[in-house]
Chain A
Amino acid sequence: MQAFTQLTGLVAPLDRVNVDTDQIIPKQFLKTIKRTGLSEGLFFDWRKRKDGSPDPDFFLNQSRYHGATILLTRDNFGCGSSREHAPWALLDQGFRCVIAPSFADIFYNNCFQNGILPVVLKADEVLTLINAALETEGYTLTVDLGNQRVTAPDGTTYGFEIDPFRKDCLYRGLDSIGLTLQHETAVSAYEERRKKEAPWLFTDLS
């Protein structure tokens, strides 16, 4: 997994609440057996008008947001289905950071597995940044994971909280399965103890 330390990048605003993973990437793109190439499905239905032509009002269709790496959005982003295709599609489009007042649990978790930093800022701070990004072409932010802060072009900084373990894994780009495998002795000891407590959980189901 790619590490995330600090990022200065173009900001794209998506001013909607409760954006669900069905919108981030609809079902027809879930038939893939790969993790890559999913950007063509990103916000697929919202990119088009009813007649199928590109919707010029949707941010992904606007040249000013081409190359954006930071997505700025509203409450409960990523709700619904657990599909990891949602962060895969965002990553494939170039997004490395999503800033919102709140995230759905599974999506939030999935971001960390893919080198994407989800940042929670206060609702009024996000609103300020969305307005700034809409008003100012080429609006950028600097997201500093080490110091847990977002810095606006005018120098204003916004601090954010993050779980220390997740931060460390993301900052160093660690293989989380490899980390768990280091605890093999503890896992085996747990299984031995558990076999005595609850032997019915260890019968062969095949």
Chain B
Amino acid sequence: MSGTTLFEKIWESHVVRAETDGTTLLYIDRQLVHEVTSPQAFEGLKLAGRRPRRPAATLAVPDHNVPTTDRKLGIADPISAKQIQTLDGNCRDFGITQFGMDDIRQGVVHVIGPEQGFTLPGTTIVCGDSHTSTHGAFGALAFGIGTSEVEHVLATQCLVQKRPKTMEIRVDGTLSDRCSAKDIILAIIGKIGTAGGTGYVIEYTGSAIRALSMEGRMTLCNMSIEGGARAGMVAPDDKTIAYIKGRPLAPAGELFEQAAKSWRALKTDADARYDATVILRAEDIAPQVSWGTSPGMVLGVDQKVPDPTLISDENAKRATERALEYMGLTPNMPLTDITIDKVFIGSCTNSRIEDLRLAAGLAKGKTVAKSVHAMVVPGSGLVKQQAESEGLDRVFREAGFEWREAGCSMCLAMNADVLQPGERCASTSNRNFEGRQGAGGRTHLVSPAMAVAAAIEGHFVDIRKWS
């Protein structure tokens, strides 16, 4: 009998019952809840007279609608405010722990799960949010669900699932100077396309992945969904265990030792088989910049904007033409010639302390270009506090960046942080869809290092050569 993959081990340990056709009732260890995708789920429970099965397995936080300006002023938009009040009320009514807007622990849901030690290896984790894949960085099976399934998990602590296929994405070698996890995942999406991972759970393997910090692995797994995969994961190792130890919601003492022993055994067996394998070399990955309106429309910064007349596939040609028109770009122009108006450093992809340290390190002693408005939005209140204790906020402010409160902010612009029509933004977030950061806004996805360099120069630069 051949061995099993990391995914299969986690899946098997969560099967409550399986039908002969493969339909499986899967146990869900933990659920994260935010204000946007939960009101209708709680309403459903109320209408049916149901209660959460394990309220203590759920953690709630408002993040999408919260202002990143002074919280004491409250929320200007009454509809946003109502959604957040609704979460407050539901958490109270159903006995669910919530880090409210004024709690120092508040932040982007996918930042606070790991930060609090809520996210653990070997678990199944869901949230009504597609970037739940982030938590796979810890060797968890973590995936986004719709609101009906949020209600299903609240009521039953289970989900009905069919087993997905497995895909290994192996990245060996050493990244170029200043290249990061963000460049790896953008290059992967550029290679497999935005539907390449549909129906799969990805496991990221290889020496370049093992070399990533936990923050880097979270960035990587976060954007699995942009490659079409609901979940991405990295096998836990000593880095994972060291990261978890001592966090508020993580097991402690003897229980931690017992858990760590089990986590060390969580890896794909040498003789296990994946349904598909994709291989990249880290040395081949240049700093990435997205040029279009889909995360798969991405190239190395040393490349030029694609020329639709050179594309033979009719669908790809039309999609490219449409994207270039929306983005206001000319075929064959070097990506380094693209000038920008705004810079956003933040989101569940790149707003952790390591991202901010790296960005501040590059911004130190420099000045944001006059034509650029740049902002930094930490992933959580605790990330903000840590950054301030290290003086990173001063570095950013002195360089001309705005330093904000924690939240999703301009990643999807549900709060007041919005691009104006035609504005062009270098963003460390995860989606460059039309209008994602504001109707008519133009998003270029990049790493934090690329975003800082673009803020200072006013256009994209190849950070490998930038001084």
Q: From residue 156 to 206 of chain A, which have CB atoms closer than 8 A to chain B?
A: 163-165, 176-177, 179-181, 183, 186-187, 190-191, 194, 197-201, 203-206
Chain B positions within 8 Å of A163 at CB level: 21, 23, 162
Q: From residue 411 to 452 of chain B, which have CB atoms closer than 8 A to chain A?
A: 412-414, 421, 431, 433-436, 439-440
Complex contact B294–A18 (CB within 8 A): yes
Q: From residue 50 to 104 of chain B, which have CB atoms closer than 8 A to chain A?
A: 50, 53, 55-57, 59, 64-65, 77, 79-80, 82-83, 86, 95, 97
Q: From residue 32 to 64 of chain A, which have CB atoms closer than 8 A to chain B?
A: 32-35, 45, 50
Chain B positions within 8 Å of A22 at CB level: 412, 431, 433-436
Complex contact B251–A177 (CB within 8 A): no
Q: Which of A80-88, A91-99, A134-142, A143-151 contacts B (4 or more CB under 8 A)?
A: A80-88
Bitwise interface map of B from 350 to 367 toward A, beta carbon under 8 Å scored 1, else 0: 000000000000000000
Chain B positions within 8 Å of A18 at CB level: 194-195, 294, 319
B130 at the binding interface (Cβ < 8 Å): yes
A73 at the binding interface (Cβ < 8 Å): no
Q: How far is the CA of A102 from the CA of B193 in the complex (A)?
A: 14
A79 at the binding interface (Cβ < 8 Å): yes
Complex contact A33–B39 (CB within 8 A): yes
Q: How far is the CA of A18 from the CA of B318 in the complex (A)?
A: 12
Residue from the list A16, A102, A187, A204 in contact with B198, Cβ < 8 A? A102
Chain B positions within 8 Å of A199 at CB level: 255, 258
Chain A positions within 8 Å of B215 at CB level: none
Chain B positions within 8 Å of A198 at CB level: 122, 259, 262
Q: Which of B144-152, B303-311, B372-380, B388-396 contacts A (4 or more CB under 8 A)?
A: B144-152
Chain A positions within 8 Å of B123 at CB level: 201
Chain B positions within 8 Å of A190 at CB level: 16, 27
Complex contact B259–A187 (CB within 8 A): no
Chain A positions within 8 Å of B29 at CB level: 201
Residue from the list A45, A81, A187, A206 in contact with B56, Cβ < 8 A? A206
Complex contact B130–A81 (CB within 8 A): yes
Q: From residue 308 to 351 of chain B, which have CB atoms closer than 8 A to chain A?
A: 315, 319
Q: How far is the CA of A68 from the CA of B230 in the complex (A)?
A: 31
- Asked if A30 meets B56 with Cβ closer than 8 Å, knowing A177-B50, A183-B16, the reply is no
Q: How many residues of A are counted as interface, with CB atoms below 8 angstroms from the partner's CB atoms?
A: 58
Complex contact A27–B414 (CB within 8 A): yes
Q: How far is the CA of A74 from the CA of B36 in the complex (A)?
A: 28
Residue from the list B53, B82, B146, B199 in contact with A82, Cβ < 8 A? B146
Complex contact B251–A205 (CB within 8 A): no
Complex contact A106–B144 (CB within 8 A): yes
Q: How far is the CA of A205 from the CA of B147 in the complex (A)?
A: 23
B118 at the binding interface (Cβ < 8 Å): yes
Which residue from chain A places its CB closest to the CB of B155 in the assembled complex?
A177
Nearest CB in chain B: distance from A149 CB, A: 21
Complex contact A80–B431 (CB within 8 A): yes
Nearest CB in chain B: distance from A89 CB, A: 13
Residue from the list A76, A110, A180, A206 in contact with B148, Cβ < 8 A? A110
Nearest CB in chain A: distance from B229 CB, A: 8
Q: How far is the CA of A79 from the CA of B230 in the complex (A)?
A: 11
- Asked if A76 meets B255 with Cβ closer than 8 Å, knowing A31-B80, A206-B56, the reply is no
Complex contact B146–A34 (CB within 8 A): no
Complex contact A104–B228 (CB within 8 A): yes
Which residue from chain A places its CB closest to the CB of B43 in the assembled complex?
A33
Chain A positions within 8 Å of B50 at CB level: 177
Kindly name the residue among A23, A102, A109, A186 whose own CB sees the greatest number of chain B CB atoms within 10 A.
A109
A69 at the binding interface (Cβ < 8 Å): no
B275 at the binding interface (Cβ < 8 Å): no
Chain A positions within 8 Å of B183 at CB level: none
B243 at the binding interface (Cβ < 8 Å): no
Q: List 30 A-B contacts (CB under 8 A).
A: A20-B294, A20-B433, A22-B431, A26-B435, A28-B414, A30-B36, A30-B64, A31-B414, A33-B86, A45-B434, A45-B435, A76-B195, A80-B433, A83-B37, A105-B199, A164-B21, A180-B158, A183-B25, A187-B16, A187-B156, A187-B158, A191-B27, A194-B13, A199-B255, A200-B256, A200-B258, A204-B56, A205-B249, A206-B56, A206-B97
A residues sitting closer than 8 Å to B (CB atoms) are 16-18, 20, 22-23, 26-28, 30-35, 45, 50, 74-76, 79-84, 87, 102, 104-106, 109-110, 113-114, 163-165, 176-177, 179-181, 183, 186-187, 190-191, 194, 197-201, 203-206
B residues sitting closer than 8 Å to A (CB atoms) are 13, 16-17, 19, 21, 23, 25, 27, 29, 36-37, 39-40, 43, 48, 50, 53, 55-57, 59, 64-65, 77, 79-80, 82-83, 86, 95, 97, 118, 120, 122-123, 128-130, 144-149, 151-152, 155-158, 160, 162, 194-195, 198-199, 225, 228, 230, 249, 251, 255-256, 258-259, 262, 294, 315, 319, 412-414, 421, 431, 433-436, 439-440
The 3 closest A-B pairs by CB, nearest first: A113-B148, A200-B251, A33-B39
